[in-house]
Amino acid sequence: MQIYSRVYFLTVILVNTTNMCGLSSRIPAPLQFKTFCTTQFNMPSYARAVLAHNFDDLIQFLEHASNTSDPYLYAHSALRMFSNKLKECPWINPSAFSTLLMQLPNALCQLEGYSEQTEADRIQETYDLLYQTLSLRFDTFKKAPRTFLRELSSQVTRSYTLFVTKKDNQLAFKSTLVRFLELAANKLVWSPEDALSTWQNVITISDRIESLKNKLWIDEQEVNDLYHSLLARYCYFIDIWHMDLSEEFYEQLIHTAQAGNFALLTCQEDEELIQTKRDMLVQTLLRAYSRKKSIPDTESLENIIEMDQLTVVKACDEQTTITS
């Protein structure tokens, strides 16, 4: 299983560095949906050759949503379409995912004018409807009160139904957005050749996830869930490539993981007894480094974690000499 995983990741890295994109990564125009589907989206190579490396098509669809009669419904449908296509991607380029997260706030800000109404807004809207209708058609009310009230009730009902539909579409879009980001995060693949740059990419991604929370597109719990997905995927990367990562990588990242004040590592868990994300990363690094230096499994990780990064390297070198 370990050998298969390493071969798989190596294949992904080779593909990421090869120009496979014979397809255009831009949609001719959102209104030319049929052309886009038949010439690009439905092609077998679209998922691997385009979507895995570039989310511009999705961004263009989201930007177009504000031009439709029901922006959230349109955006939700577009996001579901790309979510299903994303399932065909065996991997996602981390730089492309980071760029997507950077572009999302601007693409979604066009939906902010179509934001969810508050209860006060609903009360005011109903009041205005009743007041204007009575003011303009008071004579009709006096002549045929039953007919008037029946028509007015229908207007109020239609207005409320529209409000509920818009709210449901907004909630559905936000839920699909989180699932899409989770799906993409679970497919990220880094190259060991990028060394510490991979960690910087992880931090950039986590910061951009945080910006979506600040814009109220996702909540605190959803941010924590996305952080877990991102960090679990990165720990898997470390586990797979532990032999190819340098001494410097382990030294610096162990120190950074122990002392770094990153939102990704400081975000509190739902329960106190749950392992923190900081501990999860540190233990992954120590296990991977132990395997790289052939430290016996009986070595106390609890003792190692108390050492600074230079002591860890020295202890590992000494243990290697003894066992050899």
Q: Is the distance from CB of 116 to CB of 170 less than 8 angstroms? A: yes
pLDDT recorded at residue 246: 94
Q: Is the distance from CB of 277 to CB of 257 less than 8 angstroms? A: no
Give which of 135, 136, 145, 209 is closest to 177, Cα–Cα.
Answer: 209
The count of other CB atoms within 10 Å of the CB of residue 161 is: 10
Give which of 189, 212, 262 is closest to 104, Cα–Cα.
Answer: 212
Give which of 7, 8, 51, 60 is closest to 33, Cα–Cα.
Answer: 60
**DSSP E strands, 58-171:** none
The CA distance from 144 to 50, in Å, is 64
pLDDT recorded at residue 299: 45
The CA distance from 234 to 238, in Å, is 6
Q: Is the distance from CB of 229 to CB of 182 less than 8 angstroms? A: yes
The CA distance from 173 to 73, in Å, is 7
- pTM for this prediction: 0.75
pLDDT recorded at residue 222: 95
Amino acid sitting at position 104: L
Q: Which two tokens stand for residue 56?
A: 């511009």
The CA distance from 180 to 101, in Å, is 12
pLDDT in tens, the chain (324 residues): 454 455 445 444 444 443 333 333 344 445 478 888 888 999 999 999 999 999 999 999 999 888 888 889 999 999 999 999 999 999 999 999 999 999 999 998 877 654 555 667 777 777 787 888 878 887 887 888 888 788 878 877 777 777 767 778 888 899 999 999 999 999 999 999 999 999 999 999 999 999 998 877 899 999 999 999 999 999 999 999 999 999 999 999 999 999 889 999 999 888 888 899 999 999 999 999 999 987 554 344 444 444 444 444 444 454 444 444
